[in-house]
Amino acid sequence: MKATELLHRRITYSEISFAELVLWRLPAPLPGSVHRYKYRLAFVVRGVCVLRYDNEAGKGDHRHYRGKEHPFEFESPERLIEAFQRDIARYRREDHDA
């Protein structure tokens, strides 16, 4: 079985901000993960990635928020996207320019 792209979407929030969501189903988990998904969800403001969820091989599931990296417990693709959207809303509340 090959990797299957499940989602590839770019969402514009304003003239200076957008989100890009990429999600794949894999034939086997990546090193560092226990699930069969590969993902990269990024929120970019003024050309700078201010929020990112990803699971690069060997590092496992984690999120980057305001320059800091934190572990993230992956439950499902739906929960991942919900958490990402909550963080975008939080960022936009705290930074009215986004």
* Domain boundaries defined on the chain: 4-94
Q: What is the CA radius of gyration of the chain?
A: 14
pLDDT in tens, the chain (98 residues): 799 999 999 999 999 999 999 999 999 998 888 999 999 999 999 999 999 999 987 789 999 998 899 999 999 999 999 999 999 999 999 876 66
Distances in whole angstroms, Cα of residue 9 to Cα of each of 30, 48, 88, 93: 22, 18, 15, 23
